[in-house]
Structure 1
Amino acid sequence: MDPTPTSLFESYEQDFRHIIHGISDKLQDGGKNQIGEQRKAALRKVELELDEADDVVSQLEVEIQGIPNSVKAPYATRLKQAKADLSKYKKLSKDLQFQATRSDLLGGYRADSSRSDDPYGENSDRTRLLAGTETLNDGSRRIQDSTGIALETEAQGADILRSLRGQREQIENSRSMLNTADIHIDRASGTLKGMLYQMKKQRFILSGIGIFFVVLILTILYFKLSR
Structure 2
Amino acid sequence: MDNSPTSLFDSYEQDFKHIVSSIREKLEGDAKNESGEARKTALRRVEMELDEADEMVSQMEIEIQGIPQSLKAQYTSRIKAAKNDLQRFKKASKDLHNSLARSDLLSSTTRPGMGPATSDEPYGSSNDRTRLLAGTALLEDGSRRLVDSQRIALETEEQGADILRSLRGQREQIQNSRDTLQRADTSIDRASGTLKKMIRRWL
* TM-score category (smaller protein): 0.5 to 0.7
Residue of structure 2 in register with 1:22 after alignment: 22
The within-5 A match list for 1:58-77 is 58-77=58-77
Distance in 2 (CA, whole Å) between partners of 1:36 and 1:15 is 30
Residue of structure 2 in register with 1:154 after alignment: none
Distance in 2 (CA, whole Å) between partners of 1:2 and 1:11 is 10
The alignment status of 1:41 with 2:41, answered yes or no, reads yes
- The alignment partner of 1:65 has SS state of helix
Distance in 2 (CA, whole Å) between partners of 1:32 and 1:93 is 10
Q: CA deviation at 1:110?
A: 4.0
2:56 maps to a residue whose letter is V
Distance in 2 (CA, whole Å) between partners of 1:58 and 1:71 is 19
Distance in 2 (CA, whole Å) between partners of 1:47 and 1:69 is 35
Q: Deviations over 1:115-155 (max 9, x none)?
A: 74449x79xxxxxxxxxxxxxxxxxxxxxxxxxxxxxxxxx
Larger radius of gyration: 2
Q: Which moved more, 1:93-102 or 1:104-113?
A: 104-113
The within-5 A match list for 1:143-222 is none
- The alignment partner of 2:2 has SS state of coil
1:88 maps to a residue whose letter is R
- The alignment partner of 2:6 has SS state of helix
Residue of structure 1 in register with 2:150 after alignment: none
5+ residue gaps, structure 2: 117-123, 137-203
Q: CA deviation at 1:16?
A: 0.1
- The alignment partner of 1:5 has SS state of coil
2:22 maps to a residue whose letter is G
Normalising by structure 1, we get a TM-score of 0.50
Distance in 1 (CA, whole Å) between partners of 2:11 and 2:80 is 16
Distance in 2 (CA, whole Å) between partners of 1:71 and 1:46 is 33
Distance in 1 (CA, whole Å) between partners of 2:128 and 2:22 is 45
Distance in 1 (CA, whole Å) between partners of 2:3 and 2:52 is 22
Root mean square deviation, CA, Å: 2.0
Q: CA deviation at 1:108?
A: 3.0
Q: Deviations over 1:44-88 (max 9, x none)?
A: 000000001111100000000100111111110000000111111
Distance in 1 (CA, whole Å) between partners of 2:41 and 2:16 is 22
Q: CA deviation at 1:30?
A: 1.1
Q: CA deviation at 1:107?
A: 2.5
1:97 maps to a residue whose letter is H
Residue of structure 2 in register with 1:79 after alignment: 79
Residue of structure 1 in register with 2:197 after alignment: none
Distance in 2 (CA, whole Å) between partners of 1:3 and 1:109 is 61
2:36 maps to a residue whose letter is G
Distance in 1 (CA, whole Å) between partners of 2:80 and 2:106 is 39
Normalising by structure 2, we get a TM-score of 0.55
User: Sequence identity, in percent?
Assistant: 55
Q: Which moved more, 1:3-12 or 1:48-57?
A: 3-12
Residue of structure 2 in register with 1:195 after alignment: none
Residue of structure 1 in register with 2:88 after alignment: 88
1:26 maps to a residue whose letter is K
